[in-house]
Structure formats: structure tokens, C-alpha cells
Amino acid sequence: MANELCLDILGTSFTIAADEDETYLQKVLTQYRAAVENTQSISGINEPLNIAILTGFLLCDEINKIKQQQEGVSVEIEERTLNLIEKLEQALKVCENG
């Protein structure tokens, strides 16, 4: 069931429908409003469209950095797992031969 969320940001108001629950949608809206306020404070830009575009760009940058960090962690976990498997295989060979 779609929930409706009224957006009123940067002088523009409209309603969206989404399949997420209302609590989640409110959380996302709160995060976006905070991101918009941050963009305004760090950039000094006053034009709503420019603020919205720059905010979207900064959020995409943040998402990509988080993805890169997760990929790095995944690679490290994979390397550690393979290292442990190798050590276990060596230990099993010692037990079989010993």
C-alpha cells in the first residue's frame, strides 16, 4: 500500500506516493532537510534549484564513498577468510600426516 508524503522544501510543495512506511519516509525527509540546510550553510547559495542540485550531488558523493568503504571491507573479509581456510587446510594436513 502506497503512503503519501507531503514535501515542502526550498519553497516548493508537492506530494509523493511511496511503498515505504510513513516512519521511514519521515526519516528520509528529515535527513534530506538536514542535508539541504548543510548545503546552504557551507555553500552560501540562496537559489533553491542550485541548492537542491548541489545537495543531490553531495549526497551521491557520500553514497559512493560509503560504497567504496564497504567494498574495501568486503575485500578485507574475503582475504582474511581465504587466509583462515588456508591455515585450516594446513593444520588438517599436519593432523592427517602426524
Cell numbers found for residue 47: 537559489
Q: What is the spatial distance between Cα 32 and Cα 7, in angstroms, rounded to a whole number?
A: 10
Mean pLDDT, range 88-95, rounded to an integer = 83
**Counted domains in the chain:** 1
Domain that holds residue 83: 3-97
Q: pLDDT band at residue 91, thresholds of 50, 70 and 90?
A: confident
Reported pTM: 0.70
7: Cα separation from own chain's centroid: 21
pLDDT at 43: 95
pLDDT at position 13, please? 94
Give the contacts of 51 (CB within 8 A, at least 6 positions apart): 10, 36, 39, 40, 43, 45
First CA to last CA distance, the chain: 64
Q: Residue 1: pLDDT above 80? A: no
